[in-house]
């Protein structure tokens, strides 16, 4: 797929997508943060925007640039990833002639999207981007991404003697199953929009059912 073909998928902002995609598509071979992820987050954001409002131009720029600086999950810099991406987003938008005010709106949404950063989104667009990205971390796709990332990091599926961590601390960098109680099953508590919370509820139920089935098979 070339850039023009990819940009069309980001209707109705395909021209903006065409200008930003060269800055975000790389050869990192991370299937959890690739073009498919950007498309899913964009589709989530558009659905939320239809219910909540917000500026589609700001939303698409923030969606496309929210992971423009890649930091692996097991890196000590992980908590700074969204701040680094926000800084890079400002540089990219400045070079494209965006106003400082609009670039700042995008940068805030980029910085606030991250769970690790623990930054409260202040604008509607930032709330939507955070919700849209977190929706992609839960549900059936969230389960798939969790185990995909665990494989990339060399993690085990679960701790064999105490998979539910009844007598130990959770270690989600070592065991994929630990990541569900450590983070994924807690994400629903923090959704910023009513529409996002409603979508999250259904996805969270599917994810809980998976974990119960997984444990049942053990």
Across-strand partners of 156?
A: 175
> Which residue in 27, 52, 24, 16 sits closest to 197, CA to CA?
52
- Tracing tokens 């929009």 back to the chain, one arrives at 193
- pLDDT tens column, 131-144: 999 999 999 999 99
**DSSP string of 88-115?**
HHHHHHHHTT--HHHHHHHHHHHHHT-T
pLDDT for the residue numbered 27: 57
Residue 28: other Cβ atoms inside 10 A: 11
* Residue 180 · residue 209 · CB < 8 Å: no
Tokens coding 58: 């700001």
Tokens coding 76: 């000590």
When pLDDT is averaged across residues 56-62 and rounded to a whole number, the result is 96
Q: 3-state DSSP call for residue 160?
A: coil
* Residue 139 · residue 56 · CB < 8 Å: no
pLDDT for the residue numbered 157: 98
- pLDDT tens column, 186-215: 998 889 999 999 999 999 999 999 999 999
- Tracing tokens 């990833």 back to the chain, one arrives at 81
* 139 phi/psi in degrees, rounded to 5: 75, -165
> Which residue in 154, 171, 191 sits closest to 72, CA to CA?
154
Which letter does DSSP use for residue 177 in this model? G
């Amino acid at each position: 797929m070339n850039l023009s073909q990819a940009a069309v998928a980001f209707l109705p902002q395909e021209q903006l997508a065409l200008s930003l995609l060269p800055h975000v598509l790389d050869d990192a071979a991370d299937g959890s943060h690739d073009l498919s992820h950007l498309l899913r987050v964009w589709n989530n954001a558009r659905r939320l925007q239809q219910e909540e409002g917000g500026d589609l131009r700001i939303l698409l720029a923030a969606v496309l640039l929210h992971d423009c600086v890649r930091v692996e999950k097991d890196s000590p810099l992980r908590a700074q990833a969204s701040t680094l991406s926000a800084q890079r987003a400002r540089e990219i938008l400045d070079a494209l002639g965006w106003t400082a005010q609009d670039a700042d709106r995008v940068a805030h949404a980029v910085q606030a999207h991250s769970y690790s950063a623990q930054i409260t989104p202040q604008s509607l667009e930032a709330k939507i981007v955070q919700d849209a990205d977190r929706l992609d971390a839960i549900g059936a796709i969230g389960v798939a991404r969790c185990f995909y990332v665990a494989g990339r990091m060399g993690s085990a599926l679960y701790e064999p003697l105490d998979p539910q961590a009844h007598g130990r601390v959770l270690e989600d960098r070592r065991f994929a199953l630990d990541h569900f109680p450590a983070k994924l099953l807690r994400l629903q508590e923090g959704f910023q929009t009513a529409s996002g919370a409603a979508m999250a509820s259904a996805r969270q139920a599917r994810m809980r059912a998976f974990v119960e089935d997984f444990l049942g098979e053990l």
